[in-house]
Amino acid sequence: MASIPHYVSGTAGRKYLTEDETLFRDSVRQFARETISPLVREMDEHQKMDVSLIRQLFELGLMGMEIPEAYGGSSGTFFEVILAVEEISAVDPSVGVLVDVQNTLVINALLRWGTDEQKQRYLPRMAKEWVGAYALSEAASGSDAFALQARAEKKDDQYVLNGQKLWITNGKEAELFIVFATVDPAAGYKGIHAFLVEKSFPGFTLGKKEDKLGIRASSTCEVVLEDCKVPATNLLGEAGKGYKIAIETLNEGRIGIGAQMLGLAQGAWNHAARYAKERKQFGKPIADFQAIQFQLAELAVDIEAARLMVYNAARLKDAKLDFLKEAAMTKYFASQVAERVASQAVEVFGGYGFVKDYPVEKLFRDSKIGKIYEGTSNMQLATIAKMVM
């Protein structure tokens, strides 16, 4: 019989983590508050991730957490990835999604479907220096993820890719892209292949970088493929099984987005609670008024419920148990909570919450994307409905 983990209390009296997980979480939290926090506003205004920060993320092992030590990684768990994304996102969700996409989508796909040669070639770089990106979406292929227009044609010992990909997170920083394209449109989703495409491959170029509402330091770019030549050895997984890679990887990625939204909500709540104790009206802190107390109490309940859902889905994944329904619920609920908490935090700050000098304005802008990417709220509800009906 497996031993029962010994859980210890966190800073808020929670007992969800082992001692090692608590130490890991606290170290990431300290790094986020001391190193990331001073950079947040400048990165948001300039819409650019700080290069030295990316380097530090690699040095701390946060960009290759599940990569085995044999390839230079940390040999960590999926749950540790989720903890890191949560704590970083409490300070800046832009950095949180950089870490999330790297670990839950790109590295996850390489670990599960990469050949030994592909792992040996790419995982050491992903652990130490290369950022990855996941190129699935297109202009006509969003929620209908497999209505792909990008084409791949086999020619001798290589594939030639043509098409455009949109909304590619990490596009500006990435050196390796997992690109999905159709070899046989008549075969429908069974004609989709997945490819490991390096930024330096002939015919690969970055297009427009999007000017976004939120998570502005996180790059979101167009990818243009014009007779892009990809070695046949860079086919990821089996031919025609790209759809399987996309679906199963995104299921795990949704837990990561749930963690990002959870962290955002906790960060916004922390700012609101702290400000409520400092801001005085009618001769006393506004935190002494029951109206403010009840608002913060209700939000705290929402955050705790979201945390339980995120942690449960991550534990199920690590235990190799089914988690499809839980991932969809987690992503749906956490994104709802993040927007609600961030919006209320702006109101607690009053007029100050509406200006960029205070942090909740940014978190409110950042929260909106949670309902959109890696599966809209409606798509999550459709999945949940199928599972529970």
Please compute, for residue 290, the number of CA atoms within 13 A of its CA located in the half-sphere on the CB side.
Answer: 0
Does residue 194 carry a pLDDT above 80?
Answer: yes
Distance CA 111, CA 68 (A): 9
* pLDDT more than 90, % of the chain: 94
Other CB atoms within a 10 A radius of the CB of residue 117 amount to 10
* pLDDT more than 70, % of the chain: 96
Does residue 9 carry a pLDDT above 70?
Answer: no
pLDDT at position 207 is 96
Distance CA 206, CA 299 (A): 41
- Give the mean pLDDT of the chain: 95
Mean pLDDT, residues 242-267:
97
Catalytic residue among 252, 326, 339, 374: 374
The residue among 136, 146, 72 whose CA lies nearest residue 101 is 136
Mean pLDDT, residues 378-389:
96
Mean pLDDT, residues 217-240:
98
Domain 244-388 superfamily per CATH: Butyryl-CoA Dehydrogenase, subunit A, domain 3 (1.20.140.10)
Mean pLDDT, residues 273-286:
98
Mean pLDDT, residues 294-321:
98
Domain 133-240 superfamily per CATH: Butyryl-CoA Dehydrogenase, subunit A, domain 2 (2.40.110.10)
What are the residues whose beta carbons fall under 8 Å from the beta carbon of 98, sequence distance 6 or more? Answer: 49, 54, 57, 131, 169, 170, 173, 218
Query: What are the residue ranges of helices labelled H in the chain?
Result: 19-31, 40-46, 51-59, 78-89, 93-100, 108-113, 116-128, 242-278, 290-318, 324-349, 360-367, 377-388
What are the residues whose beta carbons fall under 8 Å from the beta carbon of 2, sequence distance 6 or more? Answer: none
The residue among 141, 159, 135 whose CA lies nearest residue 222 is 135
- Is there a contact between 335 and 379 (Cβ–Cβ < 8 Å)? no
- pLDDT tens digits, one per residue of 82-92: 999 999 999 99
Does residue 109 carry a pLDDT above 70?
Answer: yes
- pLDDT tens digits, one per residue of 328-359: 999 999 999 999 999 999 999 999 999 999 99
Does residue 17 carry a pLDDT above 80?
Answer: yes
Between the alpha carbon of residue 290 and those of residues 268, 287, 293, 344, the distances in Å are 20, 8, 5, 15
Q: Is domain 7-131 in CATH 1.10.540.10, yes or no?
A: yes
Does residue 77 carry a pLDDT above 50?
Answer: yes
Token digits for 213? Answer: 């509402």
pTM above threshold 0.85: yes
374 is catalytic: yes
pLDDT at position 14 is 59
Where residue 144 falls among pLDDT bands split at 50, 70, 90? confident
- Is there a contact between 272 and 360 (Cβ–Cβ < 8 Å)? yes
- Sketch the domain layout of the chain as residue ranges: 7-131, 133-240, 244-388
